[in-house]
Amino acid sequence: EAGVTRPKGYNVSFHCNPDMEKHHFGQTHPMKPWRLTLSKSLIYSYGMSFAMDNYISRAATYEELASFHATDYLDFLGTVLPEPVPFDVENPNPDLKFNLGGSDCPLFEGLYDYCSMSAGGALDAARKLCTKQSDIAIAWGGGLHHAKKSEASGFCYINDIVIAILQLLRCYPRVLYIDIDVHHGDGVEEAFFSTDRVMTVSFHKYDPQNFFPGTGALDDNGPQSEHNPGSHHAINVPLNDGITDEQYDWLFNSVIGKCIEKFRPSAIALQCGADSLAGDRLGRFNLQVQGHGACVDFCKRVGIPLILFGGGGYTPRNVARAWTYETSIAIDHQDKLKHMIPTHTPWRDHFRHETLFPTLEQILGEPRPNRNTQKKLQDIVQHVTEQLRFVQA
């Protein structure tokens, strides 16, 4: 209508909890919750908080966690004490109860609080999308995609993503879950194996013998049966070492473009694990901040409610770069960033050892040889297209 002006851009909400970031998995453990503090200090030093609604997230309640997790698992998680499991040479892989207490999923002080805060942020973000108070909701403290109903796995204890998607399903008919962490999003995939209301798509390094968790082959599309409405709704994009921005961008656009066309999601949940960046301590890819961020930009342009989760990311300064860049995409400030130098002290202190001037987009780490052929990538798109023939929104 003439004379009526719409507010430009999207409403963005940012959900975090500073108490979550204080927890420690152990000295040498690659998962460092303080990477969240580093990310936030960079985001704030660019002044981005003024363009978003900022919330300190609550801890999720027991009942909220129980929307996905088994109560015997939650009860155990809530009562175990951080006693180190003594290392036994005779039995180096003891049967751990619920897979808790090993080196990947150690028991540490405040574990239950840490988990419920991660889930609380994700759930708050999902609720903002449900009430339409936000168009894009950001929960960098979430994204713990390996946790199962009754089992911890791969640094993940509580699957905040599944809990948040269950919330989204209360108000949106179909949710597209996309996972750009370098690891396969197995926990989320499995949780929604039997529904056609959630399509899961994971891009990951795939080498079943040598890379965690070993699942997510191209033809792993969930239990196939005519009685399972969820058949063909699990999509996997297995990749080799060294994939570049250019290849990833092409694949992401092709695969996600087709998924959106066929599945017609009403909301998107994007796990932005930053271990797919070049130079990651556990990762294998050659993605730059721009290539990683292009996935966020693509999802934003679809123009439907979007929730952004964190996830992996084991070179903390690169994690901060990526999630800061991606926050700027959400609020449409990415062009402004190039002309700004953050001067805030926490940022400078953390980056003072870098030889390069600490810019946002130039990440640390040597590139790896690229083991992805164009032929292989075309085969992936071909297979996904065939799977999607069975999908009818």
Among residues 55 and 211, whose Cβ is nearest to ligand TV1?
211
Q: Which of 237, 240, 266 is nearest to 253 (CA)?
A: 237
Q: Does 160 bind ligand TV1 (CB under 6 A)?
A: no
- Give the three-class secondary structure for 99: helix
Active site residues: 146
Alpha-carbon distance of 107 to 85, in angstroms, equals 9
Among residues 126 and 152, whose Cβ is nearest to ligand TV1?
152
- Give the three-class secondary structure for 29: coil
Buried-exposed string 101-132: b where 16+ CB fall within 10 A, e elsewhere:
beebbbbeeebbbbbbbbbbbbbbbbbbbbee
Per-residue binder mask for Zn ion (CB under 5 A), 262-281, x = binder: -----------x-x------
Q: Binding residue for Ca ion (CB under 5 A) from 32, 204, 262, 292?
A: 204
- Binding-site size for Ca ion (CB under 5 A) equals 5
Q: Binding residue for ligand TV1 (CB under 6 A) from 68, 155, 157, 351?
A: 155
Alpha-carbon distance of 272 to 293, in angstroms, equals 9
Q: Binding residue for ligand TV1 (CB under 6 A) from 156, 180, 234, 388?
A: 156
Residues within window 259-318 making contact with ligand TV1, judged by CB under 6 A: 273, 275, 282, 311-312
What angle (nearest 5°) sits at the alpha carbon of residue 53, between those of residues 300 and 340?
70
Q: Which of 257, 243, 152 is nearest to 205 (CA)?
A: 243
Least Cβ distance, residue 322 to ligand TV1 (angstroms)? 13
Q: Which of 325, 317, 237, 311 is nearest to 270 (CA)?
A: 311
Among residues 235 and 388, whose Cβ is nearest to Ca ion?
235
Sites of contact with Ca ion (CB under 5 A)? 179, 181, 185, 202, 204
The site for Zn ion (CB under 5 A) is made up of 181, 183, 273, 275, 312
Give the interface with ligand TV1 as residue ranges (CB under 6 A): 28-30, 103-104, 144-146, 154-156, 181, 183, 212, 273, 275, 282, 311-312
